[in-house]
Structures are given as structure tokens and as C-alpha cells.
Amino acid sequence: MPHPSRTPKALGLAVTAVLGLTLAAPPALAGPAADPDPVPALVAGRDTAAPQLVTGLAEAAPGSPGEAARAHLAAHPERYRIDPGQLTEVGTGRTAEGRHTVRFQQYHGGVPVLGGQYLVRLTGEGAGQRVESAGGKYFTGLTAPTTPAVPDPVLRGLALGSLTDPRARAGATAEDHGLVVLPGGTGRLTRHFTVRGTDRAGGQPTTREVYVDATVGGIALAHDARAPYQAGARPATAAAAAPALEPATGTAPDAYGRTVKVNTARLPDGSHQLVDLTRPASITTYDAAGRDLLDFIDGLPADLRPAASPTSDFPAATGADGATDAHLNAGIVYDFYRDRLGREGLDGKGSPIVSLVGVTNDGAPIMNATWDGTMMSYGGGGPQYHSFAVALDIAGHEMTHGVIDHTAGLVNAGQTGAMNEALADYFGNAVEVTARGVSMTDPKAALFGEAVCRTGTPEACAGRRLDDRRTTVDDYLGTDLSLDSGGVHLNSTIFSGALWDIRRTLDPLTADRLVYRALADYLTPLDDFVDGRNAVLAAGRSMNLSPTQLRSVAAAFDAHGIRAGWESRLGTDSRPLVRAIPTSMAAPAVAGGRWVMGNSTGTGDPALYTGSTTAPGTPTRLSPEDGRRHSWAATDGQSAAWLAVGPDAEGRFGMEVLTRSLAGGPVRSLFASRTEQLAEVRISGGDIAFLVEDWESGRTTVRLSRDGAPPVELPLPDGHRPSGLTLRDGVLGWSEQWTAGEREMSAATVRSLTTGRVTARYESAGTVSSTVLAGGRLLWVETPAGPAARSAIRSGALDGSGVVDVLPADSPYAQVTAAITASDQAVTFQAVISRDEGGKPAGGWTNAALPKLWQLPLTGGTPVRVSCNRGGQYEAAADRGTRVLWLDATTGRTDLVVRDRPAGRC
Ligand SMILES: [Zn+2]
């Protein structure tokens, strides 16, 4: 049950909802509220011609389930639009009632497609076998290449570079999972890595699933893995490794000090281990007894043995560390799935179950529990908390993540990840109330994780409650993937609340079977809330629920706002320019009423677009169609300059600075390199400036081209590192960092391109960043050295004659969290006002705690809100006057939006 964590945001790289398709809803599918049949007969796919769901079939399908399912799809090309040659059967499940579900994985030219799974459900046997329904995600528009253009070491380097925090990057590893095509438009060839850092700041090492674009470089998708520990390594299992184990029983203290009976294994020397051999799957529990988490980064250490005792009577530490409770709870959860739902273990095949307790972070208990892809790990223990292993609902939650990994495989990001968390909470709660005999009408029945505290009431201790009545329209937390992997925990009770209501309305056993059937036989890895609703309803129809029962299921989803098109019912005060941006590289630039932005909306190929900030209309493509990614753009309102990244005409990976008039005309190349990183392209009139970093030495220089001439390097003092370029009307500004003796120094610098001289250098012992030329002055963000320092906005005259505070460091608003942007009239910044010094929200994780945009006059004043949109606001770009464009995540997808003047107070 990991608590939300915030991962640092890559500077200059929008970590937005990269899989827009998983977050967008089709407004056209919103049905009338009084629909007499709540189970849809047909749900169209999004971003694909293949349907998401087809129900109500009864078509004969002879043969083995796999052959029958494949033949059925092949026999109806008009209905399904699926090429069966691109499908590989990955699993066939058989229910107690004799139904079969065949799950197929989609491949594109031999490369698996993330979330491309299609299921066919059959009833009956032999000649009576019929296809009852089918559905999932099969992406019909994929034309992406299937051979990487970027060399593997570069891809690995990019993956490691996605850890923006240098503390996490030191000693980090990248485990290569091979090529994966990301869906969306024409698709995107990536290489998938699990990146593990060693930073302890979050109480556990950083682990990220990172998909690096294998055609043009760049991070295509990165989200939190659930795993703090190695996901790929199979833990050693005592049962398999030691055949001399003999089933036995013993006694052990539990976390409350009570003596309980435990199933054990007796070794030849008469000692006992916490290995339960009474089920088809062995259940083994390890006690790390305080060992450090870094010992476990590659899986269970080879010298670790299951929790042991010289006699059948286990010592006190076994209870205090949580080993006894982890051991018992694993058995209870196993039995719940087997007895109630007919499932043998987490993988359905009775593979060994492993739990781990007692891992610490630098000696301190880890206040969390996790499923890492192979085992459960429970932290905690101390004066305030028991080991997290005491909570049966938490054990059920973590083990259900294991079940989900072996069924729907829901990706841990955004709405999909929130549904993953919701299902884990639902079954965790169901296991606990069932095993403890708690009625669904008991006021405490909805509490989650309430057993871990040593003091205080269950209500105060519970991490979540499934009866919190949250809805999409009122409560959906609109954040990008930098917070809680897109709100996977923060939005989960919207969905789990609907499931919990269903459990209260139907009888609990029917509800558990219904939700399990949706999980095992309907859901696919990129499904969202509305897909989840349809899956549960279709599962209900297949289980022959009555029309009344089905209507109550639909009503529960309605009550939580989970209906097609809910995103469009959220109130916003901005004007959308581009909706549902499916790229991680979208950061708008704007000037003179024209915006430019790299985006892959529509066709799915990575191109640069331009449009008007005032007149609606279809964006115009600026970049050539050459198979490269075009983004990182700048504009002066007349022309754009940008970076093209990918294989050049000779097929070699490189980067190039291109420029073109916004009105069209030829694309001109200004500079190309295969050995250097290009960044921060800026344009003003005939001047174009950019940064060049040598990949080998790391040395960064400023290059300038005037009137189309070849770029020249501008002189900088030795060891000075430039960043944050700004260019306007013959003046170039930047920030530079250098080391003076022991001290890190920083300055905001101005250079006249006419005279070639530096006209101002404002030095600081803090950190200067994000410079902007506006209103005849240079503005910058200045963060004083030291902990809990606030970032102020300052401005200096271009001739070096003086500095003023625009936003003083002692202002309550001086919490600038991203690059500033300015017109000649106003400066706009991103800030999170309602958080304490540790970065935690003062009033809890609500939309109010997400980054918002603020604006104030260039001459200073009290900042006002740019927009009252309730979700996260990112990547602001100032146009003329007070007009600002930004990426808005309110709806759970990312839109490019604009406002002409600030909203003021919200
Ligand atoms: Zn979880």
C-alpha cells in the first residue's frame, strides 16, 4: 500500500500523460441515463478500429478454445478489424462453470505492443461451444518501425538519465526487457528498462519503468514501478531448494504477542522454518531482521534463510518483526482465492508464495508494504506502528497485485494504475471482512489498513476508506505522472468505492466473483475506469445476474461518476487548443499570437505543429516527414527553430537544429551533430542561439547564428556552465554556474549581440536559473543556498546598473517550481502554495496541492491565479500581454489550453 511519492520532474521535459489514449474518453459513447439495458452490446475502441467490447454473441466455435477463438476473430474481419497473425495466445483460463477465456497478446512485426491484448470468451463444450463475447485493445493503426535506430548503449544511457535526481542516479542499474511498441496513432518503438536507483529519500530505492524511444531517442513513457526490490529475479524458495523439508506444525508469537499455531517445515536437524507445505503452493516467510534495503536490490540475498527456530516454538522476534502474521495472512489470502474464486495461488498455477519482513532503511523501519513482482514485503514496526504484515487487508492488497500481474496486467500509471490499486483494495478488504466475519454494514467494514497503528482509533489509522464517496467529476485528482504515477493511489477510491458499493448491494460472494471475473476475463493492461465499468457489467451478464442486479451495478458506477465522457463534464475556465496530447515532449512555445509545439496527436508521428492562440483551427505541421522526432521548439511569432532527433539521411543517430517560417516555405538546417547533445534552441529575428553539450566531456557551450550564417561559439570563462538561454532583439541572456574554490557560484548574464560584449553579470551565492528577457530587462529565478530556501524572481537592467525583486524571497508565493515565462507586461510562474516545507500538502492530497500557475506584473505586486482549473498546470508559455498557454491535466489527460487574462482569485 505505498503512500504517494513525488518524483522530481525533468527540467524542460514535460512528463505529461504520455498515453493519452488511456486517459481520454469518447464523449460520443455517453448513453442516456435511463438505458433499460445497462450492459452495452458494442463499445467502440479508441485510437483503433477494433471494438473494445462485443457482447451478446452465441456463435458456434468448435475446436480447442485457443483455435476456436482465433478462428472466430478471423471469420469476422469486418467486425473485429484484427489480423489474427499478429496475435499470440498468452493464456487460457477455465472457470468452475466450464467457461473458457482466451487471452491474446498483440505483436507488431514481432514486437509486443504495450496494452495490446484481446480476449475471446467461450461457453459450452465440444460441438456446443459458443463464443459469448470478445473485446480488449488491438491497435489497428500501427506502422512504427520494428528495428531500433538508436544504439543500445545510448538507449540504456537515456533510461538511466531519466532519474533526474543525481543521488538516485549514482549506482543505478537498468534492466533491459527488450523492445516494446507503445500504442497511440502509428505507434512508437521503444526499449523497456526497469531502472533502479539507490536513493533512500522516499524510504525505498527509486524504481521506474522506463520506455526509451528506439527510433529517435528520448523517454517515451516513465512511471513508478510498484517494486522497491528486484522484480525480475525469482527469489530462492526454501521448499524447492531443500527437498528434505518435512511438513510440521509449531507455535509462534504474533505481532500482538499472542501464541498462535503455524504450519512449518521441519529440517533434518530438528529445527523449524516458516514454510507452509499444506497447499499446492508452498508459502515461505523470510525475516530480514533489520538488514538494509540495499542488500535486497537484486532480490533475496543468497544467504537469507526463511524465518527459523531451533525448536517448534518460535522466538519473540518472529512475532515482533511481523513474520508470523505475514505467514498466516498469506495462507488466509491463498484460501480466499482458492475456496471462493477457484484460483490456485497468485499465478493460478500454484507457484510458491514468498513474504519478506524486517527490511530497514538505514536502520529505520520502512512504513510501507509492497508487491515487487515476485513477493510481498512488509515494513514497519516500532513505537507507533506494528509491522504492516499484521493487516490482513494489506496482505490481501499486495497479493492481489500479484493476481493482477498474472491476469489483466494493469499498467501502474494514471486511471489504469488507479484501477489496479482499487482492485487490490477491493479484494484486500474483502479478504479481511470475510475472514474476520465483519458485516458489510459494520461502520468499520470500509476501513483499509486500520490495523497497523499501535495507538489511536481505527478510523484515524486507516490509510484509505472505501466508503469515502469520492466521484470522478467532484474529486478526480488531475495530475501528471510526476505525482503518485498519475494519482494511482490518490484516485483509487473513486473506483474501489463503486466496487465496494456493489459488494454491499449484491451479496458479497456474488460481488467477489463478479469483480474477479471482470479482472481475470475482461480487463486488459491499459483499460481505464469506463472500460472497467463495462467489464464488470459484461461479466455480470455472463454470470446471468438479473436485470435488477445489473441495474444496481450500473447505479454504483453512476454514483461515483464512472460513466462514458465524464472527463468532458469537469468545469474548466480555459480554452483548449489541442486536446489529449499523447507525448512526453510537448512543451509549448509562443510569441505574437502563434504557438509551436512538438506533438504526436492525430497521426501519432512525432512532428512539430503551429497554431493561433486566438483563432480556433487545425494546427499546421511545420516539420518535414523524415522519420525523426521534431520538438523542443522556439518561436518569435514569425519563424520557429527546433530540434530534430533521430537517424539522419545516412541512418546515423544525431541531432539537428532546423528553422522555418511559420507561414511555410523551406526548412533550413543550421547545425547538425552526431556526438553532441543540442538543447535550448532560441530564435529572435535573424538570430538563433542554442546549447551544445559534448557527450564525452560534458562541456557545454553557447552557439549563435546571425542571419543564417554558420553558428559560432561564444566565449565563456573556463569552467563556466551555461543554461537557461533567452534571446530577444539582439540581446542574449543566460544563467551560468561555476566553482570558485569550495563555493558553487551562479550568475545571470546579458550579452549584446551588436557589440559582442557582456553588458551585465549579476552574481549570486545561490542558484540562478530560468532567465527571460522581457520589458527591457532580464528576469531570473534565484534560489538562495541552504535547506528550505524559497525561490524568488528578480530582474536586472540590461546595462548591469541594478537589480530589483519582482517576487521577493519572503513572499508567501516565492515557491517557484518550474521555469518562469514573461511578456513585456507580466511574468507567470508555477508554484505549489499549499505544501509544507517537506513538500507535503498542508490539507492533504487534493487538487489544491497540485502545481498552479500564478501571474504578477513585471514591476512586482501580488500574484494572482492564471486559471482556476482544479488540476495540475504545467509548462506555461507567455504570449502577448497577460495571455498564457499551458499544459493542463485537470481531466486526467493533458490538454494545451490558453487564457487571455488571469482568473484572479479562485
Ligand atoms: Zn498497491
DSSP 556-612: HHHHTT-STTGGGGS---SEEEE-S---TT---EEETTEEEEEE-TTT-S-EEEEEE
pLDDT of residue 241: 46
Give the residue among 255, 241, 249 at the shortest CA–CA distance from 304: 241
| Band of pLDDT at residue 168, cut at 50, 70 and 90 | low
Distance from Cα 492 to the centre of ligand 1, integer Å: 10
Lowest average pLDDT, out of 80-89, 101-110, 804-813, goes to 804-813
Distance from Cα 243 to the centre of ligand 1, integer Å: 34
Tell me the mean pLDDT in the region 65-89. 96
Lowest average pLDDT, out of 93-97, 437-441, 878-882, goes to 93-97
Q: Are 138 and 48 in contact (CB under 8 A)?
A: yes
Calpha distance 810→790 (Å, rounded): 8
Distance from Cα 396 to the centre of ligand 1, integer Å: 10
pLDDT of residue 14: 24
Distance from Cα 462 to the centre of ligand 1, integer Å: 15
pLDDT of residue 204: 61
Distance from Cα 839 to the centre of ligand 1, integer Å: 22
Q: Are 752 and 759 in contact (CB under 8 A)?
A: yes
Distance from Cα 836 to the centre of ligand 1, integer Å: 26
Angle formed by the axes of helices 414-436 and 508-521, nearest 10°? 150
The yes-or-no verdict on residue 511 having pLDDT over 60 is yes
pLDDT of residue 8: 29
Distance from Cα 400 to the centre of ligand 1, integer Å: 9
The yes-or-no verdict on residue 20 having pLDDT over 50 is no
Distance from Cα 366 to the centre of ligand 1, integer Å: 15
Q: Which three cell numbers stand for residue 408?
A: 489483466
Calpha distance 493→502 (Å, rounded): 13
* 3-state SS, residue 473: helix
Q: pLDDT, tens digit, for every residue of 403-434?
A: 999 999 999 988 999 999 999 999 999 999 99
| Average pLDDT over all residues of the chain | 87
Distance from Cα 200 to the centre of ligand 1, integer Å: 20
Measured CA distances, 854 to 434, 778, 834, 844, 876 (Å)? 50, 19, 13, 21, 10
| Band of pLDDT at residue 240, cut at 50, 70 and 90 | very low
The yes-or-no verdict on residue 283 having pLDDT over 70 is yes
Lowest average pLDDT, out of 295-309, 746-760, 765-779, goes to 295-309
Distance from Cα 416 to the centre of ligand 1, integer Å: 12
Distance from Cα 709 to the centre of ligand 1, integer Å: 56
pLDDT of residue 15: 24
The yes-or-no verdict on residue 570 having pLDDT over 60 is yes
pLDDT of residue 600: 61
Distance from Cα 420 to the centre of ligand 1, integer Å: 7
Distance from Cα 493 to the centre of ligand 1, integer Å: 12
Q: Which residues contact 384 (CB under 8 A, 6 or more apart)?
A: 453, 454, 455
Q: pLDDT, tens digit, for every residue of 716-742?
A: 999 999 999 999 999 999 999 998 888
Tell me the mean pLDDT in the region 597-614. 74
Distance from Cα 423 to the centre of ligand 1, integer Å: 9
Calpha distance 222→231 (Å, rounded): 16
State the amino acid at position 308 in one-letter form. Answer: A
Tell me the mean pLDDT in the region 136-164. 87
pLDDT of residue 382: 81
Q: How many helices (H) and strands (E) does the chain have?
A: 18, 52
520 half-sphere exposure, CB direction, 13 A CA radius = 24
Distance from Cα 488 to the centre of ligand 1, integer Å: 8
Lowest average pLDDT, out of 50-64, 235-249, 777-791, goes to 235-249
Distance from Cα 449 to the centre of ligand 1, integer Å: 12
Tell me the mean pLDDT in the region 93-112. 90
Distance from Cα 466 to the centre of ligand 1, integer Å: 14
The yes-or-no verdict on residue 857 having pLDDT over 70 is yes
Q: Are 276 and 239 in contact (CB under 8 A)?
A: no
The yes-or-no verdict on residue 229 having pLDDT over 70 is no
Tell me the mean pLDDT in the region 127-132. 94
Distance from Cα 45 to the centre of ligand 1, integer Å: 28
The yes-or-no verdict on residue 230 having pLDDT over 80 is no
Q: Cβ-count burial of 900 within 10 angstroms (0-12 exposed, 13-18 middle, 19+ buried)?
A: middle
DSSP class of residue 846 equals S
The yes-or-no verdict on residue 125 having pLDDT over 50 is yes
Distance from Cα 371 to the centre of ligand 1, integer Å: 8
Distance from Cα 418 to the centre of ligand 1, integer Å: 9
Q: Which three cell numbers stand for residue 227?
A: 517494486
Distance from Cα 489 to the centre of ligand 1, integer Å: 7
Distance from Cα 606 to the centre of ligand 1, integer Å: 34
Give the residue among 585, 584, 586, 590 at the shortest CA–CA distance from 634: 590
In this structure, what are the phi and psi dihedrals at residue 475, rounded to the nearest 5 degrees?
Answer: -125, -5
Most confident listed range (7-16, 245-254, 840-849) = 245-254
Distance from Cα 19 to the centre of ligand 1, integer Å: 21
SS3 string, 36-91, reads CCCCCCEECCCCCCCCCEECCCCEECCCCHHHHHHHHHHHCHHHHCCCHHHEEEEE
Measured CA distances, 678 to 15, 584, 588, 703, 818 (Å)? 20, 18, 18, 10, 21
Distance from Cα 114 to the centre of ligand 1, integer Å: 21
Residue whose entry in the numeric block shows the C-alpha cell 551585465:
760
pLDDT of residue 234: 40
pLDDT of residue 838: 62
Tell which wins on pLDDT, 539 or 186: 539
Q: pLDDT, tens digit, for every residue of 669-706?
A: 999 999 888 999 999 999 999 999 887 777 899 999 99
pLDDT of residue 631: 85
Tell which wins on pLDDT, 282 or 34: 282
